[in-house]
Amino acid sequence: MLMMQEITADIVQATIRPREADTYKGDYGHVLTVGGNQNYGGAIIMSTMAAVYGGAGLVTAATDPSNFTSLHAQLPEAMVVDDTDVAELTKLIPTMNVIVVGPGLGTDQQAQTILETVFDLVLPKQILIIDGSAIDLVAAQKMTLPDTHIIFTPHVIEWQRLTGIAPDDQTPEKNQAAQQKLHANVVLKKHRTEVYMQDQIWQNTVGGPALATGGSGDTLTGVIAAFVAQFENKQKALLSAVYTHSKISDQLAENAYVTLPTMISHALPSFMAQMAKKTPEDRIGF
Ligand SMILES: NC(=O)C1=CN([C@@H]2O[C@H](COP(=O)(O)OP(=O)(O)OC[C@H]3O[C@@H](n4cnc5c(N)ncnc54)[C@H](OP(=O)(O)O)[C@@H]3O)[C@@H](O)[C@H]2O)[C@@H](O)CC1
Ligand SMILES: Nc1ncnc2c1ncn2[C@@H]1O[C@H](COP(=O)(O)OP(=O)(O)O)[C@@H](O)[C@H]1O
Ligand SMILES: [Mg+2]
């Protein structure tokens, strides 16, 4: 039986620390979110919103131009670029720290071309978060993964499509073997989400059915992107993002039967401020 470690608040409190006074947006990372076709614009808006509210220094969304106005109506802080404009992406991608690809991307020919462009342009030093439709495309087209730091964020059906392991057979042993074959980190999303990285397995301890609404996973990609973009320890940043997304939902769920993805994003800055205030003494037993 493999050992699973618990993701708890102390990891988050050690990760989200007060910002140094003499810093600027360039110190907190530039995130690119790629996705959102003509039908699923909401998915990339939710991912991008979480990246902005999660504290990334600069955030750009590469999406279908039909989403530009609706995105800006909710999120003037984000920049936008046409996700089929290869010349623009060629200029932009090398300047990024973290790239999210997949929320609402769809799986048609245009989506595949966009994903191939991202895979061609991503650099080894960057972090690439592969979610939703992009996982389905990698699985269906048997795409070769780029040489970079990859985080997959599948739900159990996307994980089945990627690995062939049916949900009932998704044991820690089988999941870890599949993760190691992929040479990637895996966030396997479910009631108690599991994180597979290197030879470690972590399990979330918070989160509940108030999260069972379209866009919760899209939002998680943005939280992960913002955290790995701005915090030094990338592994703790990933675990902290998984915990924070669920813990905010639990807190909101005291007064909300369902916690809408945009509610979680809007609560990120205050939750992070609370975490950053914890002193080492406070952290014991929190
Ligand atoms: N506002 C927007 O723009 C939104 C856009 N979105 C975008 O849509 C794209 C497709 O993503 P997706 O997750 O909606 O569809 P898909 O991958 O086909 O998975 C669903 C299938 O799996 C099954 N299933 C069984 N167990 C499950 C479980 N535990 N968790 C999840 N599924 C489970 C389920 O079974 P059923 O419910 O039919 O019984 C069904 O057969 C993607 O790009 C995403 O970003 C969405 O985020 C929504 C908001
Ligand atoms: N019952 C539940 N308990 C805890 N977390 C849940 C529950 N239902 C959904 N979630 C969380 O919500 C998110 C759903 O992700 P996903 O299926 O990709 O949604 P979407 O693609 O619609 O954004 C995951 O982070 C998952 O862990
Ligand atoms: Mg999803």
CA-closest candidate to residue 154, choices 171, 168, 140, 134: 134
Q: What is the pLDDT of residues 75-127, one digit of tens each?
A: 999 999 999 999 999 999 999 999 999 999 999 999 999 999 999 999 999 99
ipTM of the complex: 0.98
Q: Which domains, ranges and CATH numbers included, belong to the chain? A: 5-283 (3.40.1190.20)
Mutate to test the pocket of ligand 1, among 49, 155, 211, 220 (most ligand atoms within 8 A of CB): 155
User: Which ligand 1 atom minimizes the distance to the CA of 44?
Assistant: 3
The response to whether residue 132 sits with its C-beta less than 6 Å from ligand 2 reads yes
Put simply, whether the predicted model's pTM sits higher than 0.90 gets the answer: yes
Gap between the Cα atoms of 93 and 21, Å rounded:
29
Number of Cβ within 10 Å of residue 144's Cβ equals 8
For the chain, the distance separating the N- and C-terminal CA atoms, rounded to the nearest angstrom, is: 29
Angle, CA of 28, 30 and 36, to the nearest 5°? 135
Interacting residues of 192 by C-beta distance below 8 A, sequence separation 6+? 203, 204, 205, 207
Q: What is the pLDDT of residues 229-248, one digit of tens each?
A: 999 999 999 999 999 999 99
> From the CA of 36, how far away is ligand 1's center (Å)?
14
Cβ(6)–Cβ(194) below 8 Å? no
Q: What is the pLDDT of residues 187-242, one digit of tens each?
A: 999 999 999 998 999 999 999 999 999 999 999 999 999 999 999 999 999 999 99
Helix (H) or strand (E) holding 25: none
